[in-house]
Structure 1
C-alpha cells in the first residue's frame, strides 16, 4: 500500500548504498570463512539461523526486553485515537500499540513489515507530553514504519551479529576440541582462530560505522516526515526538547540498561557529548534536529 508519507529520495539512496556496501563486506566475509573454516554447511546454518531469528522474532524480543504489553483501545483510548487519525491521514495500516511501564520517556517502532509492526510508547512519555507533542512523536515513529526503516536496520545489523557469532563459534569449537591434535595442528588451529577473529572484528567495525551513519540520517528523515504529516514541526521540536531534558532525571542505571535500544528509540537513552562520540551515535545531535524543525516551521 502506498502511504501519504512523501518519498524521501535521499533516505532511499542512503539505504541502498549502505546495503550495497554491507553486501560487499558480507560476500568477502563469507569467502574468507569458507577458506578458513572449510565448512560451507556450518556457515550457511549459522547465517540462516541468525537472520531467521532477527526477521521473525525482533518485535517479540524488543517488547519482552522493554517489558511492554499490547494495549486495546479500551485500555489506552488516547493513544489509539491519535494513531487511528495519523494512520488515516498517512493512508497506512494501523500498527499494534504497546505500552512499557517505565519512567524512561521514549517510544520506538519494531516489526518486520507494516502489517506486523508494533508502535511502543512508555508511560513516562505519555505522562510528560501534551497531545500535540505526543502526536508528533507518534508520527515520527509511523514514518519509520512507512519507510521500512526497521526492516533495513534488522537486515543491516545481521552482518555484525553474524561476525560476532562466528568469532565465538571458532573460539569455543577449538577450546572444547577433542584434544587429539598434534602440536603442529594446534599451531595451525590457533592461527586460524586468530584470522577468523580478526576478520570478524573488522567486519563488525565496518558494519557498525555504516549502520550508525544510516541510523543518524533516518532519524532526521523521520523528523521531517512526522512534522509534515502533523503540520506542526514546533510540537515535535518541543517533544524532543522535553524528552531530552527529562532524560537527565532518569537514574544512570536505567539509562544504561535501555541504551541497547538506542537505534530504535525516538531519542537516545544516553546523551551525546564530544564530536567523536557523535560520529558513533545512533542519533544526530539534538541541536541539529531542532534546527531542521525550526527551518520547516519557517517554510510552513
Structure 2
C-alpha cells in the first residue's frame, strides 16, 4: 500500500544504488572470507544467522538500548492523537508508539516494514516541543517508515557491523590469544585487512545515503503537514538543547545516530561532516526555508527576517 507521502525518486535511486554497491561489497567480503578461512559453510551460515537476527530484531534492540517502551492512548493521549492524525493524512498504517524515558530530546523510527514499525520519542522531546513542532518531528519519522528507508538502513548497516565485529574479534584474539604459528597469524592479518577495508567502504556509502534520507524526510514531512516552519523550529530547538548536553552523556546514544531525528553529537560537524549521519543544521533549515517560500507559508509575527 502506497502512502500519501510524496514519492521521492532521487531517494529511491540513491537507496537502490547504495544497496547494489553494498551487495557487491558483501559478495566480495564473503568470497574473501571463504578463501581465507577455507570453509564456505561456516562463513555463509554465520553471516546468514546474524543477518536474520539483525533484520528481525533490530527494533527490539533499538528499543532496549534507548530504554523505550510501548505506550497506549490512555497514557499518552496527545501523542497518539498526533500520530493518528498524521497516519490518516498520509494514508498509512499506524506504527507502534513508544516513549523513552531519556532526557535527551530526540525521536527515531525502526522496524522492518510499515506494518511492523515503531516510532519512539523521548520524554526530553515531549517536554520541550510545542504541538506543531512535535507534529513536524513525527511526520519526519513517519516519512522514514513510509519510504521504507528504515529497513534499507538496517540492512545496509549489517555489513559494516559484521566487518567491525570481525576486526575487533581478530584484534583481541591477537592481543590476548597467546602465541600463534605463522600461518594463523597470516590468516588473522588477512581477515583483519579485508574486514577493515569493507567496514571503511560500507561506512562511507551508508553515511552518504543517511544524509540524503534525512533531507528527504524533512522535505516529505514539510509537504505533508504544510508547516515547514514548525519543523525548522523543532530542529533548531532540539539541536540547541543537544549542544548543551555533555558529550559523555551522549555517547551511549551515538551508536544509533543514523536512526535519530537529529544526531546525538552535541555539536555541529566541522571537517568531519563527510562522516556525519545527518546533513548540517544549516542545510536542513535552508531546505525548509525554500519549501516554506514555495508553499507560501505565512510568516509568524516576530519572525520576519
Contact 2:268–2:281 (8 Å) recurs in 1: no
The equivalent residue for 2:3 is 3
Offset at residue 277 of structure 1 (A): 0.8
The equivalent residue for 2:51 is 51
Find out whether 1:211 has 2:211 as its counterpart: no
CA pair 258-167 structure 1, distance change in 2 beyond 3 A? closer
What SS does the aligned partner of 2:109 have?
A: strand
Structure 2 unpaired stretches of 5+: 296-305
1:19-30 paired onto structure 2 within 5 Å:
19-30=19-30
Aligned residues: 295
The equivalent residue for 1:86 is 86
Offset at residue 49 of structure 1 (A): 1.6
Find out whether 1:244 has 2:219 as its counterpart: no
What SS does the aligned partner of 1:97 have?
A: strand
The equivalent residue for 2:12 is 12
Contact 1:18–1:214 (8 Å) recurs in 2: yes
The equivalent residue for 2:140 is 140
What SS does the aligned partner of 2:116 have?
A: coil
Structure 1 unpaired stretches of 5+: none
Say which is worse superposed, 223-232 or 250-259, in terms of deviation. Answer: 250-259
CA pair 273-70 structure 1, distance change in 2 beyond 3 A? closer
CA pair 46-176 structure 1, distance change in 2 beyond 3 A? farther
- CA distance in structure 1 between the aligned counterparts of 2:43 and 2:51, rounded to whole angstroms: 12
Q: Deviations over 1:90-149 (max 9, x none)?
A: 000000000011210100000111111000001111111101000000000000000111
CA pair 45-288 structure 1, distance change in 2 beyond 3 A? same
- CA distance in structure 2 between the aligned counterparts of 1:56 and 1:98, rounded to whole angstroms: 18
- CA distance in structure 2 between the aligned counterparts of 1:193 and 1:7, rounded to whole angstroms: 46
Offset at residue 172 of structure 1 (A): 7.0
1:119-138 paired onto structure 2 within 5 Å:
119-138=119-138
Contact 1:106–1:265 (8 Å) recurs in 2: yes
TM-score, with normalisation over the residues of structure 1?
0.94
Offset at residue 252 of structure 1 (A): 2.6
CA pair 46-299 structure 1, distance change in 2 beyond 3 A? same
What SS does the aligned partner of 2:259 have?
A: coil
Contact 1:3–1:92 (8 Å) recurs in 2: yes
Offset at residue 175 of structure 1 (A): 8.2
Contact 1:272–1:278 (8 Å) recurs in 2: no
Cα RMSD of the aligned pairs, angstroms, is 1.8
CA pair 170-45 structure 1, distance change in 2 beyond 3 A? farther
Contact 2:243–2:267 (8 Å) recurs in 1: no
> Among residues 216, 219, 234, which one is paired with 1:221 in the alignment?
216
The equivalent residue for 2:252 is 257
1:85-234 paired onto structure 2 within 5 Å:
85-168=85-168, 186-234=181-229
Find out whether 1:285 has 2:243 as its counterpart: no
Contact 1:46–1:162 (8 Å) recurs in 2: no
What SS does the aligned partner of 1:263 have?
A: helix
Offset at residue 178 of structure 1 (A): 11
CA pair 272-253 structure 1, distance change in 2 beyond 3 A? closer
- CA distance in structure 2 between the aligned counterparts of 1:167 and 1:262, rounded to whole angstroms: 22
CA pair 271-45 structure 1, distance change in 2 beyond 3 A? same
